[in-house]
Chain A
Amino acid sequence: MVAVAPRKNENSRPRVVAVSPDDGSAIDLRNPALAALLSWCVPGLGQFYQGRTHKGRLFMGAILGTFLAGLWLGGGKVVYASWKPGDTRWAYVCQAGAGLVALPALVQSMQLNGVARQPLFGSGFMAPPLAPGQYVSRSYADTLVRTDPDIDAEDFFDKPPLRQFRIDQVSIWHRRFGRWFEIGTLYTMLAGMLNLLVIYDAWAGPLGTPTDDDRKVHKKGTAA
C-alpha cells in the first residue's frame, strides 16, 4: 500500500511511503519514479537509493548473478538484438529487462547493421550473428576469421570495400553450444523478466499478501 505523508516543512514535497506488510512500518520510497529507473538500470540500485540495503543486495546479487551465469553458460553469445527476418530475437525483449547490462547488445546491433558494418566492441561481444549474404567491414571479417574457430576466410565473399558472409552464424553457435545456448538464453530471459518485479518493488514498495484475517474480513464484508 502506498500513501502520501506530509513533511514537517509545508513548502517541501510530500513524502511517498509504502507500508511494510510484515510489521506495518513506513517505507520511505523517496522519488519512486527515479528509484524504479535506477532498479531497471542496475537491479537493486533503486532499493539502495531508498535505503533498503538488504533488499538491494539481494536483488542485485540474484538478478545480476543469474544474468551473468546465463551469459557464461551460453558462451557469451545468448544476449544479442536482432530483428532480421528468420532471426528475430524475441528473447532480447525479456533480457532487456535486466537493464544496462543488456544494453551493449542494442548498441552492437545498431553498429553492425548501420553504416559502420562492424560492432562497436571489436571482438563482437553481444553482437548479433551474421546472416547469409550480410555485408561486414573487412576489419570485422578479419577479426572473426582470427578469433572464431568455425569461421574461415573462405566463408566470406570479397566485395570491396566490404566482405559478404556466406553462411549462417547462428547455426554455428547452436552447433557449438548445443543445449547450453538454450539454457543460457533461459537464464538471461528469466533474470530480465524478474527484474520487472524488482522495478515495481522500487516504485510502489512490497506487494504484500492478504492474511487469513484479511480474507475473513473481506468475506464478512461481501456477505453483508
Chain B
Amino acid sequence: MMPLFAQLVDKVPGIFFGLPLVALASLIFAATHHEDPAEIRFAAIHWAVWLGGILGLVLAAVLLLGWMA
C-alpha cells in the first residue's frame, strides 16, 4: 500500500492547483445555466460536487492502474 500512498501524495500539488480550476468551471457552468444569484450559488456547489467526484474517480482509477502495472 505504501507505493500507492506515495503516488497519491505526489499528486497533491496537482490536486491543490486543480481545485481552483474545478471551482471556476463549476461557477461558469452554473452562471451560464441560471440568472438568479441564489440559483447560481446553489448550482455552482452542485456542479463542483459532480466535477470533483468525476475527476476524483478518474484520478483514483489512474492511480490504481499505475499501482497494478
Interface residues of A (CB under 8 A from B): 20-23, 25, 27, 52, 54-55, 58-59, 62-63, 66, 69, 179, 183, 186-187, 190-191, 194, 197-198, 200-201, 205-209
Contact = CB atoms under 8 A, between A and B. Distances in A.
A190 B17 contact: no
B32 A23 contact: no
B33 A207 contact: yes
Contacts of B13: 179
| Interface secondary structure of A, over-half rule | helix
Interface of B: 13, 17, 20-21, 24-25, 27-29, 31-37, 39-40
B43 to A, nearest CB: 8
Given A23-B36, A209-B33, A58 B20 contact: no
10 smallest A-B Cβ distances: which pairs?
A22-B36, A20-B35, A194-B28, A201-B32, A197-B32, A22-B39, A207-B33, A206-B35, A183-B17, A66-B24
Contacts of B31: 55, 58-59, 201
Contacts of A201: 31-32
B17 to A, nearest CB: 5
A198 B24 CA distance: 12
